[in-house]
Amino acid sequence: MSSIESLGDLRGKRVLVRSDLNVPLDGTTITDDGRIRASVPTIKALAEAGARVVVTAHLGRPKGAPDPKYSLAPVAERLGELLGQPVAFATDTVGESAEQVVRGLGDGDVALLENVRFNEGETSKDDAVRAAFADRLASFADAFVSDGFGVVHRKQASVYDVALRLPSAMGGLVKAEIDVLRRLTVDPERPYVVVLGGSKVSDKLAVIDNLLGKADKLLIGGGMVFTFLAAQGHEVGKSLLETDQLETCRTYLREAAEKGVEIVLPTDIVVDTQFPSGDTVPSPRVVPASAIPADALGLDIGPDSAAAFAAALADARTVFWNGPMGVFEVPEFAEGTRAVADALTKVQGLSVVGGGDSAAAVRALGFDESAFGHISTGGGASLEYLEGKELPGIAVLER
């Protein structure tokens, strides 16, 4: 894939950058600016090279029309703070405001267009509709830089179609993500440990399929663990359970044994009688993983399991972690996730936090991001890469 350097001298040229600025908001307050901070180096490098930088991104899932609660206006303000320079904000994507803002850019200036998903052409399955929107976006620029790794698994106008219309290159963030993911899939340094959590086994099926033949150990926590426990014949009470995946889990356990891959499941679970909410006071208790009461649901791995997971990571040289071990947003159910994160900071090798909730947990629990080898912004894109799928936003840059 071409790097930014391949685009030549960018002074005075308009460069359209597809960033991933899909941050969580509480009203208009950004609650986690990790993705904005990750996007800054590429944008800053382009501005310092004298380019006229036009950033496009999405926020949330609006239905192809403007929706004030998904406006990127708060993001523009925070991006400007992080860049140390004003960021002009267009109140539409390809309309009059966008045209005026782009025309007004000088060398080294930065603009952010309003949420690209406010236009139905961004995510349309109709190639012609998507192409028409991509034509308008491409008209704003002389070159395109793809730097939103979190969306490269989507065949969308600002990710895929624009790259067909302009001289294109990958940004520093996309390059870093691809480099790390290749290290996870091509001759990884061993021992290689994969830690999977999150809600559902079904969300991770293809990842498990692909990594069972590559990893030495697979540690499983989060909501998905209860389907594995049920597959072993254990009672899981009111815990999250995918009954249609029970046989799949039995197959994974059997295949892992045949391939010499150690699957580590929790031996104890932190439970409560109801899912935590703002109206309830948590009443956690620890029970054996093999004996979850019928009136309880599992909300975190227990202390013995947390210690066992940390021990399993102690000698690892490569670690990939995707998915929290419990409901980390509630302190009473955050200790399993904290233990895994802490163990990753001590890995003498490559430690990768696989984006999404795992990355949010690291920040929410107060860890220094520099203590990890790599914190992915990819989420679903990272998982699809590890599943062995072709990512449209990467393939188009390799054409």
Confidence of residue 282 (pLDDT cuts 50, 70, 90): very high
Question: Which of 111, 145, 171 lies at the terminal end of a domain, its last residue?
Answer: 171
Q: Has 20 been labeled as part of a binding site? A: yes
CATH of the domain at 126: 3.40.50.1260
Q: Has 52 been labeled as part of a binding site? A: no
Q: Are residues 186 and 225 in the same domain?
A: yes
Neighbours of 136 (CB within 10 A): 17
| pLDDT the model gives residue 291 | 95
Q: What is the DSSP string of 4-30?
A: GGGG---TT-EEEEE------EETTEE
Q: For the segment 26-69, what is each residue's pLDDT rounded down to a tens digit?
A: 999 999 898 999 999 999 999 999 999 999 999 999 999 999 99
Question: Which of 150, 171, 192 lies at the terminal end of a domain, its last residue?
Answer: 171
In whole angstroms, what is the distance from residue 148 CA to residue 160 CA? Answer: 11
Share above pLDDT 70 across residues of the chain, in percent, rounded to a whole number: 99
Residue 15, in any domain of the structure = yes
Residue 35, in any domain of the structure = yes
Residue 399, in any domain of the structure = no
The reply to whether 13 belongs to the active site is no
In whole angstroms, what is the distance from residue 3 CA to residue 133 CA? Answer: 25
In the set 44, 200, 250, 317, the catalytic residue is 200
pLDDT at residue 389 greater than cutoff 80: yes
C-alpha pair distances (Å), 218 with each of 152, 195, 225: 27, 6, 12
In whole angstroms, what is the distance from residue 18 CA to residue 7 CA? Answer: 16
- Give the mean model confidence (pLDDT) for residues 261-289: 94
Q: Are 47 and 88 in contact (CB under 8 A)?
A: no
Q: Are residues 206 and 331 in the same domain?
A: yes
Q: Has 84 been labeled as part of a binding site? A: no
| pLDDT the model gives residue 1 | 64
Q: Has 272 been labeled as part of a binding site? A: no
Q: Are residues 323 and 234 in the same domain?
A: yes
Q: Are residues 161 and 31 in the same domain?
A: yes
Q: For the segment 78-136, what is each residue's pLDDT rounded down to a tens digit?
A: 999 999 999 999 999 999 999 999 999 999 999 999 999 999 999 999 999 999 999 99
- Give the mean model confidence (pLDDT) for residues 373-388: 86
Q: Are residues 223 and 281 in the same domain?
A: yes
Q: What is the DSSP string of 213-259?
A: TT-SEEEE-STTHHHHHHHTT-B-TTS---GGGHHHHHHHHHHHHHH
If one compares 213 and 83, the residue with the highest pLDDT of the two is 83
The reply to whether 399 belongs to the active site is no
In whole angstroms, what is the distance from residue 183 CA to residue 241 CA? Answer: 33
Of the candidates 23, 16, 20, the one whose C-alpha atom is nearest the C-alpha of residue 39 is: 20
Residue 215, in any domain of the structure = yes
C-alpha pair distances (Å), 94 with each of 98, 133, 138: 5, 8, 10
In the set 14, 18, 35, 130, the catalytic residue is 35
Cβ neighbors of 326 (< 8 A, separation 6 or more) are 197, 221, 222, 270, 298, 299, 300, 301, 333, 334, 335, 336, 337
Q: Has 356 been labeled as part of a binding site? A: yes
pLDDT at residue 356 greater than cutoff 80: no
Number of structural domains in the chain: 2
Q: Are 161 and 134 in contact (CB under 8 A)?
A: yes
Q: How many residues does the chain have?
A: 399
In whole angstroms, what is the distance from residue 286 CA to residue 301 CA? Answer: 9
| pLDDT the model gives residue 377 | 81
In whole angstroms, what is the distance from residue 138 CA to residue 347 CA? Answer: 44
Q: Has 234 been labeled as part of a binding site? A: no
In whole angstroms, what is the distance from residue 126 CA to residue 129 CA? Answer: 5
- Which segment of 120-124, 199-203, 260-264 scores lowest on mean pLDDT? 199-203
Q: Are residues 227 and 305 in the same domain?
A: yes
Residue 396, in any domain of the structure = no
Residue 354, in any domain of the structure = yes
In whole angstroms, what is the distance from residue 159 CA to residue 130 CA? Answer: 11
Compute, in degrees rounded to 10, the torsion defined by CA atoms 183, 189, 195, 200: 50
Cross-strand pairs, 88: 111
In whole angstroms, what is the distance from residue 387 CA to residue 319 CA? Answer: 16
| pLDDT the model gives residue 202 | 86
Sheet with 192-196, side-by-side order of all strands:
262-264, 217-220, 192-196, 318-322, 350-353, 374-375
Q: Are residues 136 and 216 in the same domain?
A: no
The reply to whether 104 belongs to the active site is no
In whole angstroms, what is the distance from residue 124 CA to residue 137 CA? Answer: 15
- Please give the distance of CA 162 from its chain centroid, rounded to a whole number: 23
Q: Are residues 187 and 158 in the same domain?
A: no
| pLDDT the model gives residue 361 | 92
- Which segment of 32-41, 191-200, 222-231, 375-384 scores lowest on mean pLDDT? 375-384
| pLDDT the model gives residue 209 | 86
pLDDT at residue 394 greater than cutoff 90: yes
| pLDDT the model gives residue 78 | 98
Q: Are residues 117 and 185 in the same domain?
A: no
- Give the mean model confidence (pLDDT) for residues 16-21: 97
Q: Has 358 been labeled as part of a binding site? A: yes
Domain with 61 in it: 4-171
Quote the mean pLDDT of the chain.
Answer: 95
The reply to whether 389 belongs to the active site is no
Q: Are residues 192 and 86 in the same domain?
A: no
- Across 103-117, 188-202, 345-359, 362-376, the highest mean pLDDT is recorded for 103-117
In whole angstroms, what is the distance from residue 107 CA to residue 46 CA? Answer: 10
Q: What is the CA radius of gyration of the chain?
A: 22
C-alpha pair distances (Å), 45 with each of 36, 110, 226, 299: 15, 11, 46, 43
Residue 104, in any domain of the structure = yes
Q: Are residues 18 and 162 in the same domain?
A: yes
Q: Are residues 347 and 205 in the same domain?
A: yes
Q: Has 357 been labeled as part of a binding site? A: yes
Residue 139, in any domain of the structure = yes
Whether the CA torsion 15, 16, 20, 22 is positive or negative: it is positive
Question: Which of 171, 189, 218 lies at the terminal end of a domain, its last residue?
Answer: 171
- Which segment of 133-137, 244-248, 320-324, 357-361 scores lowest on mean pLDDT? 357-361
User: Across 233-326, where does the E strand assignment appear?
Assistant: 262-264, 268-272, 285-288, 297-301, 318-322
* Residue in the structure block whose two tokens are 């200790």: 335
Q: Has 97 been labeled as part of a binding site? A: no
Confidence of residue 362 (pLDDT cuts 50, 70, 90): very high
In the set 323, 356, 378, 379, the catalytic residue is 356
